[in-house]
Chain A
Amino acid sequence: MSSSYRNRIQEFNVALKEEKINLQALRELCFSGVPFEGGIRALCWKILLNYLPLEQTLWDSFLKKQREVYSQFLKEMIIQPGIAKANLGLSREDVTLEDHPLNPNPESRWNNYFKDNEVLLQIDKDVRRLYPDMAFFQRPTEYPCLLILDPQNEYETLRRRVEQTTLKAQTVDRNRSGVTNVSSPGKAQNLYPSNEYEVLPNGCEAHWEVVERILFIYAKLNPGIAYVQGMNEIVGPIYYTFATNPNSQWKEHAEADTFFCFTNLMSENRDNFIKSLDDSQCGITYKMESVYSTLKERDMELYLKLQEQNIKPQYFTFRWLTLLLSQEFLLPDVIRIWDTLFSDKDRFDFLILVCCAMLILIRDQLLAGDFTVNMRLLQDYPISDVHTILRKAKELQDGA
C-alpha cells in the first residue's frame, strides 16, 4: 500500500470519527473514490444514501431498529403467507366460502398470492443470472437468514414457492394435452433442465437468493412499481459491497442494510422505472435527451454525426441511465463509478456528464464508424479504465 493511499484512508478515518459527520466534506472525499479497507466504503455508502443519520451516537440504536423492521417485513410478507400456504394441506382453514383459490375478487388473499407469484418468478429469472461472469452470487452466504431457514418452521419458503409455481405450470400443460398424470411435488427439482435451476442444499442459501428476497420485499411494499427488470442490477453492487465488508459486525446485516439503501436509492431513481412517467419531465426520455443536448453543447460534430446516422439516445443511453452503468463495466469498476455518483449532491446530474464523457472519449472511432460499427461501440463500450472516464466527466462539469 502506497503512503499516499495510507494517507487517504487516514483522511476517511478522521472524517468518519466526527461525532456529527460533515456531509459536505465526506462527499468531497468520496467523489474521488472510497477505500474498501476496514469497511470504509460500505459505511460511506450508508451515509451518502441517507440511510445512516449524521450523528454517530445514533447509529447503534438506529441500525438495531431498522434491522428489526426488516425482520418484521420478512415475517409479514414471506413467513406468514408461507405458513398459511403450508397449512392449507392440513386444515384447509384458509379456504372458506368467502375466500378460496379461485376467488377473482382483487381483495382476495388468494388472488394476491397468485399475483405475487408472477412477480416472484420474474425476479427469480433475473437474479439467477446476476453477474454471471463472477462466482460470488452463486456462492453460499455465511449468514443465511436464520428466521427463514429455521428448521422448526414448516412453511413455504420463496425457494419452495418458485418450485411449486413452476410445477403448477407443468401440471396445467399436461392437462391441456389430455394427460391427467399429475406429477408429485417431490419431483419439483428434477423438472429443471440441467443446471439452470441448481439450488444449494437446505440450510444454505446463495447470495442471489438473498437478493431475490430483497427485491420481493421491495415489490410487496411498493406495489405501484413492483419489480422492473434491471432493479436486480441496482441491488447487486450494493449488496456485494455490504456482503463483502471486512467488518463482520456489519457484514452480518448486509441483507437488511442493502434493502434500506436500495429503497433510498430507488426513491431518487425510481421514476426511470415507471412506464407512465416515461414522457414526463422526471421520466427517462427526458434524461436520455439531456445526454444528447449536453453532448450538443460540448461536441457539436459528434452530436451531428449520431443524429445523421439516426442513432437515437434510446438505443443505448436507456440502459446506461436506468442501471447507473452497472451493465457496462466489471463490478469493481461499477462500484468505483458509484462512489462518485453517490457523492453527487444533485443526484444523477453527474451521470449525464459521465455518459457524455463516454461518448466524447471515443469520438474518433464514432466519427469514423458506420451505423453498425457505432451501435456496437455503444452497446459494448470499449474503454475499461473508468478513471479516465470520470476525469473527463469532471472536466465537463468544470466547464473545461
Chain B
Amino acid sequence: MQQEHLFKVLVIGDLGVGKTSIIKRYVHQIFSQHYRATIGVDFALKVLNWDHQTVIRLQLWDIAGQERYGNMTRVYYREAVGALVVFDVTRASTFEAVLKWKDDLDTKVTLGNGRPVPAVLLANKSDQSREGLCSQLPKLDTFCRDNGFVGWFQTSAKENTNIDAAARCLVDNILANEESAGVDSDPDVLVLPGLNNNTKERGHSRCATCSKF
C-alpha cells in the first residue's frame, strides 16, 4: 500500500539570508549568487520518494524577508505543517531576528492539536563563516531546546551542505506529528490507500470537473 503525503513547509528568515538559494538548491540543484529579492511569496515543489511505501510532496513557500511584508505572512502561513527558519552566519543581526520569526510563526499557525508546527533552524552560508559566529554554533543545541526548534543545521546552498539533511529532519518531525495526531485530525494531509487516487488537490480538481454540469 503506497501512501502519498502533501506537506506545506515555510521558509522564513531575514532578508538576504539565502532562503531562495536554499530552495533553488534543494529543488533544482542549482546555485547562483544573484537571485532577485523575493517580493511577497515564491512557491516551489519537491517530490521525495521517502521509502518504498511513501511519496512526499513538499510545497515550499519562500516568504519575503523584509519587515514590510509582515501583514502578508498570516495568509502565507495558513495550513503550514513545518518551517525552516534561516539565518546568515556572517551577519549577527539575522540570528537575532530568528526568535522574532519563530514567534511570528507560532502566533499565526498551529497544528490541529494546538501544538506549534515543527521548525528547523538553518545556519546558512557556512562556506563563508569566519571563526566569529562559528565558535558560537555549539551553543545552538541549547538555543534550539530553549526556543522550541526541533533541530539545527549548518548549511551552505552554495556548496550544497546539509540542505537535504535539514529537510529530512523536518519531514521526520512532520511525519511523527502525523502519526501521533492520527490521520484524520489534520485536514491538511490526506493519506489515501492505493496508487492512483492520492492527494487532496487532485481530488479537488476531479470534483470540479464532475460538478461542471
Binding site for B on A (CB under 8 A): 122, 125-126, 128-132, 169-170, 172-174, 176-177, 179, 193-196, 228-230, 232-233, 273, 275, 278-279, 305, 308-309, 312, 314-316, 318-319, 322-323, 327, 367-372, 375-376, 379
B201, A125: Cβ atoms under 8 Å?
no
Interface bin, chain B: 35 or more
Known: A322-B39, A375-B43. A173 touches B130 (CB 8 A): yes
Can you identify 25 A-B contacts, CB atoms within 8 angstroms?
A122-B15, A129-B33, A129-B34, A132-B32, A173-B130, A173-B132, A173-B133, A176-B136, A229-B15, A229-B37, A273-B68, A275-B67, A275-B68, A275-B69, A314-B72, A315-B40, A318-B39, A318-B40, A319-B40, A370-B201, A370-B205, A371-B201, A371-B204, A376-B45, A379-B42
Are A279 and B204 in touch, CB under 8 angstroms? Answer: no
Q: Which residues of B contact A (CB under 8 A)?
A: 15-16, 32-43, 45, 57, 59, 64-72, 75-76, 90-93, 127-128, 130-133, 135-136, 199, 201-202, 204-205, 208
Determine chain A's interface SS by DSSP, over half rule.
helix
Closest Cβ of chain A to B125, distance in Å, is 8
Q: Which of B16, B67, B75, B136 contacts A314 (CB 8 A)?
A: B75
Residues of A within 8 A of B40 (CB): 314-316, 318-319, 322
Given contact pairs A173-B130, A370-B201, A372-B59, A275 touches B70 in the complex (Cβ within 8 A):
yes
Which of A169, A229, A279, A305 contacts B71 (CB under 8 A)?
A279
Task: Decide: B131 and A179 in contact? CB cutoff 8 A.
Answer: yes
Select which of B37, B41, B132 is within 8 A of A129 by beta carbon: B37
What are the residues of chain B within 8 A of A367 when measuring CB–CB?
208
B80 to chain A, nearest CB (A): 13
Chain A residue nearest to B132 in the complex (CB) = A173
In the bound assembly, the distance between CA atoms of A126 and B15 in angstroms comes to: 9
Q: Closest chain B residue to A317 by CB distance?
A: B40
A194 touching B33, Cβ below 8 Å = yes
Q: Per a CB cutoff under 8 Å, which of B35, B66, B127 touches A228? A: B66
- How many angstroms between the C-alpha atoms of A319 and B43 in the bound complex? 13
Residues of B within 8 A of A194 (CB): 33
Give the distance to chain A from B72, nearest Cβ to Cβ, in Å. Answer: 6
Within the assembled complex, what's the spacing in Å between the Cα atoms of A131 and B33?
12
Chain A residue nearest to B91 in the complex (CB): A169
CA A370 to CA B32, docked complex, whole Å: 30
B93 partner residues in chain A, CB cutoff 8 A = 169
A314 touches B76 (CB 8 A): yes
Given A177-B131, A305-B208 in contact, is the A372-B35 Cβ separation under 8 Å?
Answer: no
Docked complex Cα distance between A356 and B204 (Å): 23
Q: Contact between B66 and A122 (Cβ–Cβ < 8 Å)?
A: yes
Contacting A309 at CB < 8 Å: which of B15, B131, B204?
B204
Q: Which A-chain residue is minimally distant from B59 (CB atoms)?
A: A372
The answer for the CA separation of A125 and B35 in the assembled complex, in Å, is: 10
Of the candidates A130, A229, A319, A379, the one whose C-beta lies within 8 Å of that of B68 is A229
When C-beta atoms are compared, the residue in chain B nearest to A318 turns out to be: B40
The list of the 7 closest CB pairs from A to B, nearest first, reads A173-B132, A132-B34, A318-B40, A371-B201, A370-B201, A319-B39, A125-B16
Q: Is the CB of A318 within 8 A of B201?
A: no
Chain A residues near B57: list those with CB within 8 A.
372
Q: In the bound complex, what is the Cα–Cα distance between A309 and B209 (angstroms)?
A: 13
Question: In the docked arrangement, what's the CA distance between A279 and B32, Å?
Answer: 36
The residue of chain A having its C-beta at the shortest distance from the C-beta of B72 within the complex is A314
Let me know if A327 and B204 touch, CB within 8 A: no
Measured between beta carbons, the chain A residues less than 8 angstroms from B132 are 170, 173-174, 176-177, 179
A278 to B65, CA, bound (A): 17
